[in-house]
A = this chain, B = another copy of it.
Amino acid sequence: MAREKRATPGRKAAKAPEERIRARNEAAILKAAVNLFARKGFDGTRIAEIAKASKLPKANVYYYFETKEAIYARLIERLLSGWDSALEHIRADREPREAIADYIAAKLEYSRKNAVESRFFANEMLRGGGFLSRTQRRHIQDVTHERVEVVENWIREGKLRKIDPKHLFIMLWASTQFYADSAEVAAMTLDRTSLRRTDYDNARDTIVDVILGGCLPVAGEHGPTND
């Protein structure tokens, strides 16, 4: 899709980098692949399927990628570079209430817009995460630790109740990813055939409500003032 005409009709027609054939076809292959990997996992996905889904002959897929592993590895790499983006909200200079609420909203929005990538990652986890390199594992750990410390600080400052930050993060990941990874169960629960925007909004409100209610100190107010 989005086959645009050359923007510069001049003599040289310098094309944008993304318009180059290689970039375009690799993108098509990766897009098709992430969909299939997300559904069927690494072992269950056939190269021929990827070829068909990306509307390229199988041999052409091999022209761009050495092996199936190479495709998978590229996707893992791409995914991990965005792993921490939502976590940016958890910053020491912010108020936990807003920071956590923003994090939940961002993660849920990611689940909504990038359900495929989320499922792809979930599938890799089900496989045992064997495709993650030592470096990539460390990356996840480092980024997590960094934010765990922020939460620990909030607790020390009395801005949060004394709660194990690591398990709290797990709760947040799990609750937000569920709407992508197990969208069918979520939809069944909500009596839908598929999730709608309002479902995500309600999910966000509920998660924020419960998490903040369970984390913020028991002083005066405990949540948003709207009923």
What residues of chain A have their CB less than 8 Å away from a CB belonging to chain B?
Answer: 38-45, 119, 122-123, 125-129, 137, 140-141, 144, 161-164, 166-171, 173-175, 177-179, 181-182, 184-186, 188-191, 202-203, 205-207, 209-215, 218, 222, 227
Closest to A141 in B: B188
Roughly how many angstroms separate A173 CA and B178 CA in the complex, as a whole number?
Answer: 9
Roughly how many angstroms separate A152 CA and B161 CA in the complex, as a whole number?
Answer: 27
Instruction: Give chain B nearest CB distance to A173 CB in angstroms.
Output: 7
B171–A185 CB distance below 8 A: no
Roughly how many angstroms separate A210 CA and B151 CA in the complex, as a whole number?
Answer: 14
With A39-B128, A167-B207 known, 8 other A-B pairs at CB within 8 A are: A40-B43, A42-B44, A122-B126, A168-B206, A171-B171, A173-B182, A174-B182, A210-B214
B170–A178 CB distance below 8 A: yes
Instruction: Give chain B nearest CB distance to A171 CB in angstroms.
Output: 5
Query: For residue A169, which residues in chain B have a CB less than 8 angstroms away from its CB?
Result: 189
A144–B38 CB distance below 8 A: no
B214–A126 CB distance below 8 A: no
Query: For residue A227, which residues in chain B have a CB less than 8 angstroms away from its CB?
Result: 162
Roughly how many angstroms separate A89 CA and B122 CA in the complex, as a whole number?
Answer: 29
B191–A173 CB distance below 8 A: no
Roughly how many angstroms separate A41 CA and B125 CA in the complex, as a whole number?
Answer: 12
Name which of A39, A126, A171 has the most chain B CB atoms within 10 A of its CB. Answer: A126
Roughly how many angstroms separate A166 CA and B29 CA in the complex, as a whole number?
Answer: 38
B184–A175 CB distance below 8 A: no
Instruction: Give chain B nearest CB distance to A35 CB in angstroms.
Output: 12
Query: For residue A41, which residues in chain B have a CB less than 8 angstroms away from its CB?
Result: 40-41, 43-44, 123, 126
B163–A170 CB distance below 8 A: no
24 contacts between A and B (CB under 8 A): A40-B42, A42-B44, A43-B43, A44-B44, A44-B45, A122-B182, A123-B123, A126-B181, A140-B188, A141-B188, A144-B188, A161-B209, A161-B213, A163-B210, A167-B202, A170-B189, A171-B210, A174-B178, A174-B182, A209-B214, A210-B210, A211-B214, A213-B218, A218-B222
